[in-house]
């Protein structure tokens, strides 16, 4: 196990990410919920006598896919799926279904459609053909 500095808020975030209630985690670690709650709400160092107990809690959280790093805590997802990659998938599916880039941009919360066009423009196919068909129908 890599040694990192662990704050109470990171421990709380890890428990929530893992989907464990305070009681669930306490039961699995064979600890009282009061100890875990105290660690989550404290900025004090953990007393040496409690260190092995905290290690059990961290081991359980890591087994649930939580990853602790020096910059925070996050949940590992199968196959490298992240929230950001799901966001890209979502946008790509909208574009493939024919949703216009302005709407996609607004749904993603982008500051302007130009950023959306830069990232997803390569996914827009057939727009030129469609424009030609519209003009053909209007004047043809």
Number of C-beta neighbours around residue 64 at 10 A: 17
Q: What are phi and psi of 20, to 5 degrees?
A: -105, 135
**Cα distance between residue 18 and residue 68, in whole Å:** 12
Would you say residue 1 lies in a domain? no
What CATH number is attached to the domain comprising 64? 1.10.260.40
- What is the tens place of the pLDDT at every residue in 67-126? 887 777 877 766 666 677 778 888 888 888 889 999 999 998 999 999 999 888 888 877
Instruction: Count the domains in the chain.
Output: 2
- What is the tens place of the pLDDT at every residue in 29-47? 999 888 888 888 876 666 6
The answer to whether residues 87 and 131 belong to one domain is yes
Would you say residue 59 lies in a domain? yes
pLDDT of the residue at 137: 93
Would you say residue 71 lies in a domain? yes
pLDDT of the residue at 2: 47
Of the residues 21, 43, 76, which one is the last residue of a structural domain? 76
pLDDT of the residue at 45: 63
Q: How far is CA 137 from CA 100, 129, 134, 140, in A?
A: 21, 12, 5, 5
The answer to whether residues 71 and 16 belong to one domain is yes
pLDDT of the residue at 53: 83
| Domain encompassing residue 69 | 8-76
24 and 59 Cβ atoms separated by less than 8 Å = no
- What is the tens place of the pLDDT at every residue in 46-71? 666 677 888 888 888 888 888 887 77
Categorize the per-residue pLDDT at 139 as very low, low, confident or very high, splitting at 50, 70 and 90.
Answer: very high
Would you say residue 3 lies in a domain? no
Q: What are phi and psi of 53, to 5 degrees?
A: -70, -45
pLDDT of the residue at 104: 93
């Amino acid at each position: 196990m890599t040694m990192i500095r662990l704050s109470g808020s990171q421990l709380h975030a890890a428990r929530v990410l893992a989907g464990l209630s305070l009681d669930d985690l306490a039961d699995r670690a064979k600890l009282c919920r009061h100890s875990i709650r105290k660690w989550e709400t404290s900025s004090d160092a953990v007393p040496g006598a409690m260190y092995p107990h905290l290690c059990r809690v961290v081991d359980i959280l890591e087994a649930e896919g939580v990853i602790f790093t020096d910059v925070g805590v996050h949940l590992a997802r199968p196959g490298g799926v992240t929230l950001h990659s799901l966001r890209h998938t979502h946008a790509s599916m909208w574009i493939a279904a024919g949703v216009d880039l302005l709407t996609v941009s607004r749904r993603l919360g982008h500051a302007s459609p130009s950023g959306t066009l830069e990232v997803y423009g390569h996914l827009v196919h057939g727009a030129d053909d469609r424009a030609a068909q519209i003009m053909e129908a209007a004047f043809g």
